[in-house]
Structure 1
Amino acid sequence: MLILAFDTATDVATSALLDDGEVLGERASVAKTLLEDVDALFRQASSRPTDLDALVVGTGPGSFTSTRIGLSVARGLALALGIDGAGVSTLDALAAAADGALPVIDARRGEVFVPGGAAVPPDEVDARGRLCVGDGAVRHRDVLEARGGVIPPDDDVRHTPRAAVHARLATGFGPVDSIEPIYVRAPDAERWRA
């Protein structure tokens, strides 16, 4: 089964092409170059989009705009290719990359996204003795370490929600247009309008 997976919820967008669980290629860049990365993955694997059997997309939480980019690309590709897909939480993918890891995604506004569907100040995260991974752990290293957390070096791969992990976690493939993003809070535009 040939699967294309990608996650654009954080500052580092990742994509991967897998064939029956074997990683044929992986890329990391930014959300706005996702289609270029996907094209490069297909060329690297000597494959074509019409060979795809399914898609896996990261559902966030993370940047509202970046998450929408990933879901829009997934919906467009699924519609054009007539394939199913699955959504995987960015937090779940980060947690699965290291045993016992606490995923912490930068939520901006002085907050972080953590498991349980919450955006909280980093000084409210129970990090005692936990391996904290994600861009929120990097950004709020001092606070989390003061709360007993262990944070790998900034350039450690465990801080990036790798698309290959998303593909391995995916279950329940179905219509891509039914995949819902995990926003946790309203977008800034809604706050400003209110």
Structure 2
Amino acid sequence: MSEPLVLGVDTSGPYCSAALIRGGALLSGLDVEMPKGQVEALFPMLENLLAEGGAFWSDLSAIGVGTGPGNFTGIRISVSAMRGLALALDVPAVGVSLLDALAHAAPGPVLAAIAAPRGQAYIAGRGMAHDLAPALVAIEELPHELAEPGLVAIGSAGDAVAAHLGVPHAAPAFAPGEAIARIAATRWRTETAPATPFYLKAADAAPARDAPPVILDEPA
């Protein structure tokens, strides 16, 4: 029996990242900077990815998809597209947090940090003396006590977090799509919950400030 073929996809930032793995081996991968146009580009890019890996859609055993945190629109694009694809292929769609993807296969304690607006970061600690649950925090408010021996900061806000805490900044072991595929490969047989966006904060939207129109009674 052949090893399962797993596709990993992430568009939670200004990029498209995807990878195809089988039995721990990377068959093909792509990582393209893409601030916009992900909707139109995603499936043609994935078709090329499968072709490079010598595979067809019907060969997939599972799909891993990045659920964020990150860009709201980007997360919705990949999660909805991969859930639809998984339904059509009758395979599982496994949601994977980008924070978990950043920390995957790190050799020691990691503080995964994704840039957020206004000097903030989405963070999560993995392999630390006291692991940190995912949270949205102001970087300058991170307590310096987090800087335990061997800790490294990883991610798009990793350099800023590293400078604040006085710890090294390191690159992740894998690109997002590949890390997501590798994590999904360990979960797809037991994962039952549908992939859903992982935002950690409300959308940047506010109710209108204008007062509602006044309805005037018609004269008698």
- Alignment TM-score > 0.5, same fold: yes
Distance 1:134 1:95 in 2: 9
Change (3 A) 1:163 1:36: same
Distance 1:192 1:177 in 2: 32
Aligned counterpart in structure 2 of residue 147 of structure 1, from 120, 140, 165: 165
Unaligned runs of 5+ in 2: 125-132, 210-220
Q: Which residue of 1 aligns with 2:199?
A: 183
Distance 1:193 1:118 in 2: 28
1:39 maps to 2:42: no
Bigger Rg, which one: 2
Q: Which residue of 2 aligns with 1:118?
A: 135
1:82 maps to 2:99: no
Farther off after superposition, 177-186 or 158-167 = 158-167
Q: Is contact 2:94-2:194 (8 Å) kept?
A: no
Shift of 1:168: 2.1
Shift of 1:76: 1.8
Q: Which residue of 2 aligns with 1:102?
A: 111
Shift of 1:92: 0.7
Shift of 1:85: 2.0
Q: Which residue of 1 aligns with 2:127?
A: none
Distance 2:208 2:199 in 1: 18
Aligned residue pairs: how many?
186
Tell me the TM-score normalized by structure 1: 0.83
Change (3 A) 1:58 1:114: same
Farther off after superposition, 167-176 or 119-128 = 167-176
Q: Is contact 2:31-2:175 (8 Å) kept?
A: no
Change (3 A) 1:109 1:174: farther
Distance 1:12 1:103 in 2: 18
Supply the RMSD in Å over aligned alpha carbons: 2.5
The correspondence of residues 2-81 of structure 1 with structure 2, limited to 5 A, is: 2-29=5-32, 30=34, 32=38, 33-81=41-89
Change (3 A) 1:67 1:159: farther
Instruction: Find the residue that maps to 1:186 and give its secondary structure.
Output: coil
Q: 1:38-62 CA deviation, whole Å, 9 max, x = no partner?
A: 1111110222112111101111111
Tell me the TM-score normalized by structure 2: 0.74
Shift of 1:15: 0.4
Unaligned runs of 5+ in 1: none
Distance 2:190 2:76 in 1: 19
Letter in 2 for 1:119: L
Q: Which residue of 1 aligns with 2:130?
A: none
Shift of 1:87: 1.1
Distance 1:151 1:66 in 2: 26
Distance 1:181 1:187 in 2: 12
Q: Is contact 1:2-1:51 (8 Å) kept?
A: yes
Q: 1:10-45 CA deviation, whole Å, 9 max, x = no partner?
A: 233310011222210111013713223211111102
